[in-house]
Structure 1
Amino acid sequence: MEITEVAEDVYEIPRSGDMRVPARVYASEPLLEKMREEGQTLEQVRNVATLPGIQKYSVVLPDGHLGYGFPIGGVAAVDMDGGAISPGGIGFDINCGVRVLRTPLDYGDVRGSEEDLVERLYDLVPCGLGKGGYVRTDRDDVDGILERGMEWMLEEGHATEADLEHCEEGGRLPGDPDAVPENAKKRGVKQVGSLGSGNHFLEVQRVTDVYDDATAAAYGLREDGVVVMIHSGSRGLGHQVCQEYIRRFEREYPDLVDSLPDRQLVYAPIGDDAAEDYRRAMYGAANFAWANRQAMTQAVRRAFRELFGTAEESVELVYDVCHNIAKEETHEVDGERKDLLVHRKGATRAFPAGHPQVPPAYRDAGQPVLLPGSMGTHSYVLAGGERSMELSFGSTAHGAGRLKSRTQAKKDYTAGDLKQRLRGEGVYVKARSGATVAEEAPGAYKDVDEVVRVSDRLGIGTKVARMRPVANIKG
């Protein structure tokens, strides 16, 4: 495959065959080499460039790796007039995302209590498959959440006004419960406030480095402060929505499926009933994910109150971002303002300072970008970069990005050795499954510092602060 370096950390696959636009790869040479070794990531970003209505270029970000149809770390913006929506460009875990909470504590306040903290969080937040949720819900509650997201949580006493103000989209998109399959709703009952399994985690962290004092102060972050990062999504409900709509698209567009370079790219034209039903259902699942992370926030607030005597309102939401979503946004293309449907698959929105969709509290600083590393390595808070709108439709990486498959990681690492090593580094880990610990070993992921360095150098997400794990729970 032909690929050309067009600028530092910017590579391009030129338009050929059925590609409607070129493909862009934002990566350093070492990160690009990992994509080459994997093989299919670059092929996938090239395939995405064949979608109808796609604008400027198909993008893969520094954490890019193999996904379903789209690469994880992929961005594709399609014209609302003549474009299409593809579930592969959103993913099975709709609105998988990250939130960061700041606490009034310094690391010295929790040091020596790490084991108590990890045990209490593990007791309060259900982990693994089908283990219930922190907030009790019934079938009618699920409908309310699908329609109103964080607003439902506020109405029911599970959130504050400030929580909504610090969520992307205010924690609500125009979801429609009637568009969500019944099987998906059933999977959502009793799952509100549950971590799930795989790479999802709840992690207590210590801020070790501040790179931008003014922006860190705007976000309420300080060196040695204790924060909590939550990474989870829409659970089985979102997976079921994606699965059932992919099947519907395949049934309704059989000729299209046969013509695609990869059937996992199946799409529906914007404006068709199938496309609009899916979009409303996808937004409902996104609302469910925001409610899920909010419920876990309430569990964190309780744990800190019980163990350290902190007032629950003193554990504040910094921000919540989704990284598996498609949303209508306005961007400039060839000097013209256009309404586009921006697919972000394992990609984080990164709007710069001054953008009207950045919450008022952060508008002068830029949107917070939350970028987790892997268990036992650093995570970062970035700010939306000045060049993000030009280069990546206001997007940057969503994490370190996998380097090894879960199967390979389980061959290479053992849970006992990993937990012992991490304990020696001051990181307390508790998981329902030893296999999960092995799958999520730090060595199974790319170098998050390198991913962030590329993002910062390109100006799509600039460094604000770096955190180190203290306690981690997983499914």
Structure 2
Amino acid sequence: MGLVVELNEIEANVYEIGRTGEMRVPARVYGSESLVEEMQSEGDRTLTQIQNVAMLPGIQKFSLVLPDGHQGDGFPIGGVAAVDADDGVISPGGIGGDINCGVRLLRTGLTYKDIVSEQSILADRLYQTIPTGAAEGGSLDTNISDVRGILEGGLEWMLANGHATKTDLDHCEENGHLPSDPNAVPTEALKRGVNQVGSLGRGNHFLEVQRVTDVYDTETAAAFGIDTDDVVVMIHTGSRGLGHQTYSHYLRAFERKYRSLAESLPDKKLVYAPLGDDLADEYWNAMNAAANFAWANRQALTQAVRKVFDDLFDTTEVELVYDVCHNMAKEERHTVDGETKTLLVHRKGATRAFPAGRPEIPEAYRSVGQPVFIPGSMGSHSYILVGGPQSLARSFGSTAHGAGRQLSRAEARTEYSAGELKKALRARGIFVRARSGRTLAEEAPGAYKDIDEVVRVSDALGIGTRVARTAPLANIKG
């Protein structure tokens, strides 16, 4: 089933593909001319995929791809789809394999001058402390019983077992816990989660020490507890093998139960189940359980960072600013055509970005808006944003989640040498520690879109407003 992509610019940074074929709503693209051109490059299926998403039963207003959007499996990465909770569907492809992959930001209480002479040592200590790679274990020893507890309790389990503070929970999306049924997580996924709590994995996941170089909104930055020259730590990882195994299990289960549907779709990975269906409910419980695991994973990494900073800088106190996910489906209240509805919002490579006043935002930030973190690459700036005033109207309270790839991993390996890249970054004062030279080449800064342009569009549209910009000092990768 092929759809013709006719993209019309309806206002600055907003493009639309009108309904055609079996699309139930238009498809909308947020991006500058250059970013949209990248989505239209030969072989890129981003725009076709967002048209396919517009076919979902119950979808509201439009299917959406954000400024960092690029081709994914079924749904594009950077995609948002909100469906009516009464007659809509849930699709594992709209969440992706790394369930509750997300970003958290820590403030350290240190400034750049406090660590500049220790950067190399700090990079070494973090790399030695934090497990990276596909199967290197986790910083927190766990058994099957522990993992079951984490799947059910998330950060509540971490708090009860001495691995978190109450303040950590208060500064995490959903307080780091969603109701779930651990029994919905397949046994093979459960086993993969043992001893992976507190680990980074491979690919684009990282832990990065950063320097705040620019503050654009002093009031909001002060509410977040950050200022120019502060040293912060950004952590980007998710539910590891447990989440991927859970996704794969349910994708196959959906395809088996809804075989004729899957075969009729333009992409089998778009397969969905009606909300309220037994399999949909089972997947919902498994997704939430995997999300709890991801929050615990990032929390264990936070504890490891605290230990490293305590040992190296004995006057520091590392505090959580916020933790936000970007691969989830959430039930939320939104206004559609003047009517307030309960919607299931699929965000795949998209960050929730609620403006001030929403009850989901922690009390500490409710008056300014939800913190949003958009990483660049290990050689570029990252950004701290706040939920924008137009995010509810434009994007169901969502913005970008990163720079977004512009080269595939295979293309990046042919373009970049790991050794030369590491040397060039070191010359810029960026200390990179990675287990794999292949990963370094795949994650080269040139493999990603222009993060400054992605954030400029977000800010211009009012879906995520710039608060501060950071620069990398030390980056740990798998």
TM-score norm. by structure 2 comes to 0.98
Q: Is the 8 A contact 2:85 2:343 kept in 1?
A: yes
The reply on whether 1:464 has 2:467 as its aligned counterpart is yes
The corresponding residue for 1:28 is 32
For 2:401 and 2:14, the matched residues in 1 are separated by 18
Question: CA shift at 1:264, angstroms?
Answer: 1.1
Once the two structures are superposed, residues 251-302 of structure 1 have per-residue CA deviations (whole angstroms, 9 ceiling, x without a partner) of: 1011111211211101111100100000100000000000000000000000
1:409 is matched with 412
Q: Which residues of structure 2 form unaligned runs of 5+?
A: none
Equivalents in 2 of 1:133, 1:32: separation in Å? 39
Q: Report whether the alignment pairs 1:381 with 2:380.
A: no
How far the C-alpha of 1:417 sits from its partner, in A, is 0.3
- Runs of 4 or more off by more than 4 Å in structure 1? none
> Residue 247 of structure 1 corresponds to which residue in structure 2?
252
Q: How far apart, CA to CA, are the structure 2 residues paired with 1:427 and 1:254? A: 50
* Code of the aligned partner of 1:266: V
Q: Aligned match of 1:181 in 174, 182, 186?
A: 186
1:284 counterpart = 2:301: no
Q: Cα deviation per residue 1:302-338 (whole Å; 9 max; x = unaligned)? A: 0001111134xx2000000000000100100010011
- What is the letter of the counterpart of residue 378 of structure 1? H
2:154 corresponds to 1:149: yes
Q: For residue 103 of structure 1, what is the aligned residue in structure 2? A: 108
CA distance in 1, matches of 2:401, 2:315: 31
In 2: Cα distance, 1:310 partner to 1:36 partner: 51
CA–CA separation in structure 1 for the residues paired with 2:341 and 2:266: 27
Separation (CA, whole Å) in 2 of partners of 1:205 and 1:330: 35
Q: Does 1:8 align with 2:8?
A: no
Q: Take 2:195 and 2:267, find their aligned partners in 1: how far apart are those partners?
A: 36
Distance 1:466 1:216 in 2: 11
Partner SS, residue 362 of structure 1: coil
- Which residue identity is paired with 1:177? P
Q: 1:423 aligns with which of 422, 426, 439?
A: 426
Give the aligned residue type for 1:222: D
Q: Look up the match of 2:312.
A: 307
Q: In structure 1, the residue corresponding to 2:361 is in which secondary structure?
A: coil
Deviation at 1:39, TM superposition (A): 2.9
Partner of 2:401: 398
State the distance in 2 between where 1:440 and 1:112 align: 27
Partner of 1:272: 277
Write the distance in 2 (CA, Å) between the matches of 1:97 and 1:352. 19
Shift of 1:358: 0.8
Q: Secondary structure at the match of 1:352?
A: coil
> What is residue 61 of structure 2 aligned with on the other side?
56
Structure 1 gap ranges (5+): none
Identity score, percent: 67
Aligned to 1:367: 370
Aligned residues: 473
Q: Counterpart of 1:88?
A: 93
Once residues 266 and 282 of structure 1 are traced to their aligned partners in structure 2, the CA distance between those partners, rounded to angstroms, is 16
SS at match of 2:369: coil
The aligned counterpart of 2:75 is: 70
Instruction: For residue 282 of structure 1, give the secondary structure of its aligned residue in structure 2.
Output: helix
Map 1:195-234; keep pairs closer than 5 Å: 195-234=200-239
Alignment map for 1:423-462 (pairs within 5 Å)? 423-462=426-465
CA distance in 1 between partners of 2:448 and 2:151 (Å): 33
Aligned with 2:40: secondary structure? Answer: helix
Tell me, in whole angstroms, the C-alpha distance in 1 between the residues paired with 2:201 and 2:44: 30
1:289 is aligned with what amino acid? A
Equivalent position amino acid for 1:346 in 2: G
The residue aligned with 1:116 is 121
Q: Deviations over 1:413-445 (max 9, x none)?
A: 011100100000000000000000000000000
Q: CA offsets per residue over residues 358-409 of structure 1, 9 Å max, x none?
A: 1100011100001100111000000000000000000000000000000010
1:261 corresponds to 2:263: no
Deviations 1:184-205 (A, max 9, x none): 0000000000010000000000
- Once the two structures are TM-superposed, the CA of residue 356 in structure 1 deviates from its matched residue by 1.0
Matched, 1:332 2:325: no
Matches of 1:70 and 1:203, distance apart in 2: 28
Equivalents in 2 of 1:144, 1:2: separation in Å?
A: 50
Q: What's the CA shift for 1:81?
A: 1.0
1:445-466 residue CA offsets vs partner (Å, 9 max, x unmatched): 0000000000000000000000
Q: Is the 8 A contact 2:239 2:294 kept in 1?
A: yes
**Aligned mates of 1:5, 1:405 — CA distance in 2:** 27
- The CA distance in 2 between the partners of 1:440 and 1:261, in whole Å, is 30
Instruction: Read off the aligned partner of 1:98 and give its amino acid letter.
Output: V
What residue number does 1:317 align with?
320
Distance 1:233 1:390 in 2: 28
The answer (yes or no) to whether the contact 2:29–2:66 under 8 Å persists in 1 is yes
Letter in 2 for 1:341: L
Question: In structure 2, what is the Cα distance between the partners aligned to 1:403 and 1:364?
Answer: 36
Mapped partners of 1:429, 1:310: distance in 2: 25
Give, as a single letter, the amino acid of the residue that structure 1 aligns with 2:383. Y
- TM-score calculated relative to the size of structure 1: 0.99
Structure 1 counterpart SS, 2:261: helix
TM-superposition CA deviations, 1:207-229 (whole Å, max 9, x none)? 00000000000000100000000
Alpha-carbon shift at residue 176 of structure 1 (Å): 1.0
Within 2, Cα distance between the matches of 1:259 and 1:335?
34
C-alpha distance in 2, partners of 1:40/1:276? 30
Instruction: Name the residue aligned to 2:51.
Output: 46
1:176 and 1:124 mapped to 2: Cα distance?
Answer: 32
User: Following the alignment from structure 2 to structure 1, what is the Cα–Cα distance between the partners of residues 315 and 158?
Assistant: 22
Q: By how many angstroms is 1:174 displaced?
A: 1.1
Residues 44 and 70, structure 2, Cα contact 8 Å, conserved in 1: no
